[in-house]
Amino acid sequence: MRHVAIIGSGPAGYYTAEALQKQFGEDVRVDVIDRMPVPFGLIRFGVAPDHQSIKAVSRRYEKVALSDNVRFAGNVLVGSDVSIPELLGLYDAVILATGAPDDRPLDLPGSGLPGVIGSAAFVGWYNGHPEFADLDPPLATPAAAVIGNGNVALDVTRILAKTPAEFVGSDIVAHAFAALGNAAIRTVHVLGRRGPHQIAMTPKELGELGHLEDAVPRVELDDFPPELDDALLEPGLRKSVSHLRDFARLEQGAKTRTITFDFFARPVAIEGEGKVERLIVEKTRLDERNAAVGTGETYAVDCGLVVSCIGYKTPPIEGVPYEADRGRFANSDGMIGEGLYCVGWARRGPTGTIGTNRPDGYEVAEKIAADLRIGQGRKAGRPGLDRLLESRGVDVVTFRDWQRIEAAEAARAREGSPREKFVAIAEMLGARGR
């Protein structure tokens, strides 16, 4: 029997659990450990609440979670309730699937001003992450600036630009739904330090901005290279650029909100008296390697909220080798050291879609299978962890508990919403009905 612990119950964690099942069949016991009392990580706390079709992938993870040889152990904080060396003593393999929940810092003068928020915090706030429930972003402002030209910037922009009616069918958390409904924001500036051909926005997500109820995206065609050059782009990017060009044809009409794309716009400072009032932006051009270089010309973008969407990083864990510049664990094709592996964003850094984690997890499962020292039957595995956690008074949440929490969330949902999320950990634990 092989005993494997996976730390993190997001997509990378569950695809890896699935891969281990396929690899070892009945000959494996997998514990999926999470610091949260609720599973699915990025699916619950990262994927935008109005993208329910993406969130539906959790049903696949649920199948894995409900099988006999995989169990969910929530409300267990690795590093505090149990250490990595302890887990390595209990399991044949320990796999870090901890994702990349921390913001890459926006290192600018003024970036500490109130009203400057990282996307991890902002996304966590509208998705009901317990750590960010009290964020209270300043929304009583006519303009917001979103820094970055990736899909997270798109999510944040869309959420800021939607009307309450457009959240029907979403699982946006109640506090964010109410606050966004009362927001004064009429302009969202989306700032990219490079040009339209360098965006990291995928076509389906970008196209959504062209169909919002009360907001119109605006671009300056002067920022674009000649249209013939679009043919040289890979098909996905070409489609995204074609959406951007189409935006130039849209009329404001009776719509009251505008999404303004500022390309070749690199933020250099944030200013304001006690809170953010404006972003200072330097115009850029591309050098021969397509990197942004400053032109020295600056302008100000008035705004009362700045959301920085410039990428994420994996939080380091004491004693585990870490590559600070790439924001991930130091690893060789998923292997960190003897018995210790990583998958997903903790392995690769924060790039790729949810589906990218599947081959990643399968590859690491194969690596584990190839390690001959694994599966000698000498490790205590699950019963060993349970004894340890019980002796420390840790209140472990099972998948059955989660199903009760989920049922309670569904029971209190607003009309048209799949659930009304609990935000406080105590509420989640209480909803188990024990």
User: Which among 78-86, 233-241, 304-312, 333-341 is the span making contact with ligand NAP, rule CB under 6 A?
Assistant: 304-312
- Does residue 314 belong to the site contacting ligand NAP (CB under 6 A)? no
Residue with tokens 């044809």: 249
One DSSP character per residue, 238-250 reads HHHHHHHHHHTT-
H helices then E strands: how many in the chain?
Answer: 15, 19
Token code pair at residue 37: 């009392």
Binding of residue 290 to ligand NAP (CB under 6 A):
no
Helices (H), 135-202: 151-161, 174-181
Chain residues 166-225 in contact with ligand NAP, contact rule CB under 6 A: 192-194, 198, 200, 202, 205
Select from 13, 115, 148, 334 the one that contacts ligand NAP (CB under 6 A). 148
**Judged by CB, which is closer to ligand NAP: 76, or 159?**
159
Instruction: With H, G, I as helix, E, B as strand and everything else as coil, classify residue 289.
Output: coil
Give the CA count within 13 Å in the CB-facing half-sphere of 203.
Answer: 13
In the DSSP assignment, the letter for residue 200 is: B
CB under 6 A: which stretch of 28-36, 71-79, 143-151, 254-262 binds ligand NAP?
A: 143-151
99 binds ligand NAP (CB under 6 A): no
Q: β-strand 93-96 against 2-7: which pairing, if any? A: parallel
Per CB under 6 A, 32 contacts ligand NAP? no
CB of 303 to ligand NAP, least distance (A): 15
Q: Which is nearer to ligand NAP, 117 or 153 (CB)?
A: 153
The answer to whether 317 and 80 are in contact (CB under 8 A) is no
The one among 94, 117, 270, 309 contacting ligand NAP by CB under 6 A = 309
Return the residues of window 348-407 that contact ligand NAP according to CB under 6 A: 350-353
Return the H-helix or E-strand segment holding 64.
helix 58-65
Which stretches within 186-289 are classed as H helix? Answer: 203-207, 235-247
**For residues 179 and 200, which CB has a smaller minimum distance to ligand NAP in the complex?**
200
Q: Select from 141, 151, 240, 357 the one that contacts ligand NAP (CB under 6 A).
A: 151
Residues contributing to the site for ligand NAP (CB under 6 A): 147-153, 155, 192-194, 198, 200, 202, 205, 309-312, 350-353
